[in-house]
Amino acid sequence: MQVLHFLFGVLGNAIALFLFLSPTVTFRRIIKKKTTEDFSGVPYNMTLLNCLLSAWYGLPFVSPNNLLVSTINGTGAVIEFVYVTIFLIYAPKKVKSHMMGLLALVVTIFTSVALVSVLAIHGQTRKVFCGSAAVIFSVCMYGSPLAVMSLVIKTKSVEFMPFLLSLLVFLCATFWFIYGLFGHDIFIAIPNGCGSVLGAMQLILYMIYRKNKGSLSKSATTSTQAIAHPCVEIGDKLDSDNNPVNVHQHLHDSFVVEQV
């Protein structure tokens, strides 16, 4: 049982790392153009918070036998912090101020959870407190994959939901769900079980609309903004290849939800 627990944790780490690195396409674009264009920095701040809380939960003195949770989420936190830093460098002044405020909020929330868990509570209560905090913020991010699926249904196009990434999202969440089951940890099993279901739904939608992969028109893209999650923006303008500029943010937001 312990071997399987470790194995699924390693598999989850490997796929999650690939998914955390997938937004590098977006940031290469930002660095090259020296502007954040219409991209939103909110998802990266929220993912940073989610990673910090999950990494803290996986520490031995909080949750024994969950070090693999800390390794991947600690790595994810570093990657997300780099994304946020790049965004701050190239964002317009008004957006930069907003991003700084969000980053301050992220640091405040994480610091508060960490201090309370160290100074005020101990033992199983500490695990429940930190696990609950991590789960709450994970669940709050479920709006992103739901928004992507809603977009696919509305446009009848899988342009925003490539098969490979959808498959990896499903596998990542499933591996962590099984990891949580083997470890008898509801704070890992429950959110990733939900993520696995969402991943399966994405694959089903892909099979239904897989023949519709053409680029959306500008008017069609603009009309989908109303169904987007507040933390995600669907670009209302197209790049030189006639593709919405914010597509990679949707993909990024779709996978980070499942990380715990």
Most confident of 148-152, 232-236, 242-246, 255-259: 148-152
Residue 137 has pLDDT above 50, yes or no: yes
> Mean pLDDT throughout 230-239?
37
> Mean pLDDT throughout 216-245?
39
- State residue 130's pLDDT score: 97
Rounded CA gap, 106 and 71, in Å?
A: 20
Rounded CA gap, 135 and 257, in Å?
A: 10
The band of 212, judged by pLDDT with boundaries at 50, 70 and 90, is confident
- State residue 159's pLDDT score: 79
The band of 260, judged by pLDDT with boundaries at 50, 70 and 90, is low
- State residue 165's pLDDT score: 86
Average pLDDT score, the chain: 83
Rounded CA gap, 193 and 117, in Å?
A: 26
pLDDT (tens digit per residue) in 50-105: 999 999 999 999 999 999 999 999 999 999 999 999 999 999 988 999 999 999 99
- State residue 203's pLDDT score: 93
- State residue 230's pLDDT score: 31
The band of 246, judged by pLDDT with boundaries at 50, 70 and 90, is low
Residue 179 has pLDDT above 70, yes or no: yes
Question: Do residues 251 and 144 make contact, with C-beta atoms less than 8 angstroms apart?
Answer: no
Joined together, the tokens standing for residue 166 give 């959808």
- State residue 238's pLDDT score: 45
- State residue 257's pLDDT score: 42
Any bridge partners for residue 244, and if so which? 238
Joined together, the tokens standing for residue 200 give 């399966």
> Mean pLDDT throughout 98-118?
96
- State residue 162's pLDDT score: 84
Question: Do residues 192 and 176 make contact, with C-beta atoms less than 8 angstroms apart?
Answer: yes
CA Rg value for the chain = 18
- State residue 226's pLDDT score: 31
> Mean pLDDT throughout 146-175?
88
- State residue 74's pLDDT score: 96
pLDDT (tens digit per residue) in 26-49: 899 999 999 998 888 888 999 999
Question: Do residues 179 and 58 make contact, with C-beta atoms less than 8 angstroms apart?
Answer: no
Ranges of each domain in the chain: 2-256
Residue 217 has pLDDT above 70, yes or no: no
| Helix, strand or coil, per DSSP, at residue 160 | coil
Q: What is the largest CA-CA distance in the chain?
A: 56
Cα angle: 10, vertex 12, 17; to 5 degrees: 100
Q: How is residue 225 annotated by DSSP?
A: G
Secondary structure of 100-158 in the HEC alphabet?
A: HHHHHHHHHHHHHHHHHHHHCCCHHHHHHHHHHHHHHHHHHCCHHHHHHHHHHHHHCCC
The band of 211, judged by pLDDT with boundaries at 50, 70 and 90, is confident
